[in-house]
Each structure stands twice: as C-alpha cells, then as structure tokens.
Chain A
Amino acid sequence: MKKFLAVLHARNMEFLRDRSALVWNLAMPFMLVFGLAFTFSGGNKDIYKIGVVGGIGHLAQTAPKLPTTQHLQFIPYDDLDIAINKVKHHQMDMLIDVSAAPKYWVNTSSPNGYLLERIIWGVGADKFERQAVEGAEIRYVDWFLPGILGMNMMFACLFGVGFVIVRYRKNGFLKRLKATPLGAFQFLFAQLISRLLLVVVITTIVYAGCNIFIEFNMQGSYWVLLLVTTLGAMSMISIGLLIAAHTASEELAGGMLNIVTWPMMLLSGAWFSLEGAQPWVQNIAQLFPLTHMVSSARAIMNEGATLAQVMPDVWVLALTSAVFLVIGAFVFKWE
C-alpha cells in the first residue's frame, strides 16, 4: 500500500504542477461545452424523425405514400415504452405503431410534431388513431453534454495515461522503478487511480461550472451519474494502460490510441445519435466503453434512469476495466 500511495502521490504532483497541461485539461471541455451550446442552440433540423413499431415494411402496406415522403426519417423500434418516452422528450417527433390497429403518438407541445401530424394526414395516415403525450423538451445541450464530457474524458484517459507511460519507458524512469521492489500491478493501479481522480474531479468541476450558466436537465441521481462516470473513466484508462503496456515508441502509441479513439468518437453516440444507423454499426458501438457511459449518463440525466436501469452498462464498464487492467499488468514491460 505504501508503494502504491508513493507512486499515486508522485504522479498527482507531476500532473498538478504541470500548469499548462492542467489549464488545458480544464479549459478545453469548458470551451467545447459553451461553443457547441451556442453553435447548436437553435436545434434546427431539416428532417423529421418518426419511430415505427411493427415494422417499416408493414407501414408501407398500411400507408404506402408515407415511407416515400421526403425529409422523413423512419426509425424502427421494438419497445413501445422506450419509443413513447422519446416522443415525450422531443427526441423523436412522432411514433407510429402498425403492429395492430394503426396509431400514432405526438407530443402536444412539439412544433415539429404539430407540423408532422399535418404532413402524415396528407399522405394516407389520416385514419390512424391519435395518441397525445406530454413532456418537456430535452434541449440539444442536455443531450450532447454527456457526449462532450465523455469524449473529453476519453482523450484525457487514453492519451493522458498512454503517452505518460510511454514517456516514462522511453526516458528510463520505468527502468529505474524496475530496480526497486515496486510491482507492475502496483505501478499501473496507481497510475489508474491518479488519472481517475483527476479526470473525475475535472469533469465534475466542468459540469458544475457550466451548470451555473446553462442549468442542465437532471432527472436522476447524481450518485448514479458519478458511478457511471467513474467506471467509464476507469475502463478507458485501462485501455490506455493496455496500449502503453508494451511500446516505447510515442509514434506507435499515438497511432494505436488514434485507432481506438476515432471509432469511439464517431460511433459511441457522443456527437450524434446512432438511432437509425445500420444494425452492425450499432453492434460495434456496443464494444466501446464510451457508448455505455454516454448512453447511461444521458438516461440518468434526461430520463431519470435508476441504478437498476443502467446496471447492464455498469457491468460492462466494470468488467472491461478489470479485464483491460489485468491484461495490461500481465503484458506490462518496464523497458
């Protein structure tokens, strides 16, 4: 424990005293959140999203003109409750259920829903049974906040740990530690905890700081959100440790980190929703810890999801953390 705490303290001091890196780690997410909040505050979209329960093919048989109408995006859903919830929160403009007698759900406070209702009446869906739902809109900023913070955490975790360890190996510091009784697991675990503390604290500061001005939507528990955030960070740090476990080349490490970060950035739902994407894309996205962290954080913040409801994501994040850390310790090379 003494050795672990020594490495943890030394690494924390190194990070906190590196003022340029510290300021950048704090300033970057603030700038992203505010920049994107203002850029996309209008929330203008040029297509309408319609969820379909019962199959899009069946919808085409029921109202043939509807699926061919331009600027409408049809997204298949299996779970009616989840889909209705999306309409409640303005994440979807309308829901149509053609599994039995055709019905559609529209949010009475949604301007898009109002317009879309009139569009579908003109293309053969005027006989569908109308179901009204109510619910406050989830602003774009509330939707993308978990994504933007998650992505900032991803970079801080992967590159912050990966490059540091490669630098330690390249300049001989790891070799010096190898000459002491310090074990690989103690060293790696200390690196993980050090980076975890810093990332979680910085993310909390950024969230709290932005919240003063933007007042984010928060329907669920802050403790569950903290748990998901912590496990997500642990999982991504463990990936960084695994990547850095063997190489002494910053170029190679950078390439490997990019191979991991780019797909996560594009496919984890941080920037845009993957609803409506090809199933294989959605399946690949499930491999990434960022996907689980962002989706569960969104569910907690915007839909008030409980711990039990996000437990599958929690398990995935905990297991990937443990697996990557153990493999990283096993293949770790001091030189």
Chain B
Amino acid sequence: MQAIISATDLVKQYPGVRAVDGINLSIPQGICFGLLGPNGAGKTTTIEMLEGIHQPTSGTVHYKGEPLGARYREEVGIQFQHTALQEFLTVRETLQFFERLYHETLPIAEVITLCSLTDILDRDTRKLSGGQRQRLLLSLALINDPDLIFLDEPTTGLDPQARRNFWDLVKLVKSRNKTIVLTTHYMEEAYALCDEIAIMDKGRIVSQGTPAQLLTEHFGDVVLQIPGEDAGGKLMEMNIGAVPAGELFEIKTNRLHHTLQLLMDNGINLDRLRIRAWTLEDLFINVTGKDVKP
C-alpha cells in the first residue's frame, strides 16, 4: 500500500538533547497509526515534524511522495495536544472562521453532524466541557476534509465516557478512508483504535507493528492467575516461578499443559484459575522499562 506520509532518518537536535534520533516511518493510506512512548520519548517532537510545524535538524518528510509544502497545509488536519481558540466566539463562528482559511472544505453542516456539535453550536467556546471541546477541536481538524489527520493525545483529561465517545468518533472518521496518526498515553486507546503502532523511547522507535504482532513477538507465554487462598503455601514451595500480585499469585509459562498438570498433581484448586491476556501496557513496560523517566 502506498505511504501517505513517510519520514527518513528524522533527527531533531536541541542544545544538549537529541530529542529524535534517526526515525524512519512509512504510514499507509487509510490506517490509524499510533505513536506511543513514555514522557520525553520524543513523540510530540516527532509528530510536530511530521505535521510540518517544526523543521527537522536532518532527515526528510514526504507527503504523497512530495516534500511538505503549501498543498500539505491544505490537505492535513491537526488536533494539537495544547491549543487555544479565538476567544468570545461561539462553536458555529469558530467553525466558520476555520472554514474560511481553506480553499476546499466539507460543508459545515456535515462536520457538525459528524462530531455531534448540534446542541452546542451557539455556545461560547470558553464554556465547553472537556469532551465537547475535544469534539470541536477534532471538527476543526476535519473541516478541510483532510486525507491525513494528526491527533496528539486527544483524550488526555477526559472522563471514561467522554473518552469512549471520542473513540467512536475517531472510528467513524477512519471509516471514511482517512489516515490518522495518533499519540496517546492510554494503551487501551491505542489497542482500540490503532491498526499499527510504534513505541518510542529516547528518541528512537523501539518496537513497531500491529498490536497483535507485537504482543506475540514479545510475549510467547501466558499468565495464570490463582487466588492466594486457593493455593495456600504450596505454590511457593513448588518452585514454578509463582509471584504474588495482590490477592493473587501469577505464574508465567510457555508450557501451559505441563504447568496445569503440575498444579493438579499438587492438589491446587483450579476452580477459580484465570488466564490473563497480555496487554499493550505490558508490552509498553516491557520495551521501555519500569524506571521513572528523567
């Protein structure tokens, strides 16, 4: 599939800090691409170079095979992590304002419907709730009917309900064959929305692929969870790598049949045994480490 945007050997050097250190990316049309990483990993710097907001120290970014230029500004939609709007304008006026900045746009009515803004059209933008504000910011990113949309931590600070509503909205946008580049701290969000993810750490991509691929690559084993009261002290004596995890014991194994047989042979009650699936959060910790980032 042809890449809608690609980056080659992207570097951003600040005095004393190499924020992005040689990133190569190629994002196909029509997917949701997630860029994950701990604070300070270089996600926002990378995404802002892809957006054309910052110039890379070295390396190139191409949109539909061409260097970023005037056409890019017309065809890309961006929702920044931190942004403000012109004050004292209503939602409708804000949409009209941004509509006039582009040559070709979606009809405002379509954007309003898509982002469920009908009920708040005449409200001052300073008086919107967090979820309403994020829907408005997304609608502004969509107003020029962009082929490529950047969403930089769009659900940070939203309550769970607003976050899930926003996910539905992103899925709806994606269903229109739009390409979305998403950064997020929420692993379940990345899992729910992204077709492909890249995990960054210290300015580099340390892991990239589909969520399922990455989980399979990094975790060949499974985790068995047994309530402590069912296992008694026997689990620790069996020397099978059981570790306490709250009120449970967890056992990692890549020989499931053998381990289950061993547990039964030792009289462990398996009625309440659970097998926990590995998550992107496990993967994230696995590839970036548990240490607090400087």
Contact = CB atoms under 8 A, between A and B. Distances in A.
A5 interface: yes
A201 B73 CA distance: 36
Nearest to A6: B100
B161 interface: no
B88 interface: yes
A181 B100 contact: no
Contacts of A171: 83-84
A18 B87 contact: yes
A3 interface: yes
Contacts of B89: 10, 13-14
B239 to A, nearest CB: 56
B109 interface: no
A174 to B, nearest CB: 9
Interface string B58-84: 000000000000100110101010111
A3 B86 contact: no
B103 to A, nearest CB: 7
B98 interface: yes
Interface in A152-176: 168, 171-173, 175-176
B63 to A, nearest CB: 14
Nearest to A179: B78
B292 interface: no
Interface string B24-68: 000000000000000000000000000111000000000000000
Nearest to A173: B84
Interface residues of B, number: 26
Which of A9, A18, A179 has the most B CB atoms < 10 Å from its CB? A179
B74 A181 contact: yes
A interface residue count range (under 10 / 10 to 19 / 20 to 34 / 35 or more) = 20 to 34
Q: Is the interface of B mostly helix, strand, loop or mixed?
A: loop
A127 interface: no
A175 B89 CA distance: 18
A118 interface: no
Q: Is the interface of A mostly helix, strand, loop or mixed?
A: helix
A183 B68 CA distance: 16
A178 B72 CA distance: 12
B93 interface: yes
A71 interface: no
Contacts of A45: none
Nearest to B48: A175
Interface in B73-116: 73-74, 76, 78, 80, 82-89, 93, 96-98, 100-103
Interface in A163-217: 168, 171-173, 175-182
Given A2-B100, A5-B100, A182-B101, A176 B87 contact: no
B84 A176 contact: yes
B74 A3 contact: no
Given A10-B93, A13-B88, A14-B89, A175 B83 contact: yes
Contacts of B52: 179
B137 to A, nearest CB: 9
A173 B100 contact: no
Nearest to B90: A13
A177 to B, nearest CB: 8
Interface string B188-199: 000000000000
Given A175-B53, A179-B52, 8 more contacts: A6-B96, A6-B97, A7-B97, A10-B86, A10-B97, A14-B87, A17-B88, A171-B84
Interface of B: 51-53, 70, 73-74, 76, 78, 80, 82-89, 93, 96-98, 100-103, 140
27 contacts: A5-B100, A6-B96, A6-B101, A7-B97, A10-B89, A10-B97, A17-B88, A168-B84, A171-B83, A171-B84, A172-B83, A173-B83, A173-B85, A173-B86, A175-B80, A175-B83, A176-B80, A176-B84, A176-B85, A176-B140, A177-B101, A179-B76, A180-B73, A180-B101, A180-B102, A181-B101, A181-B102
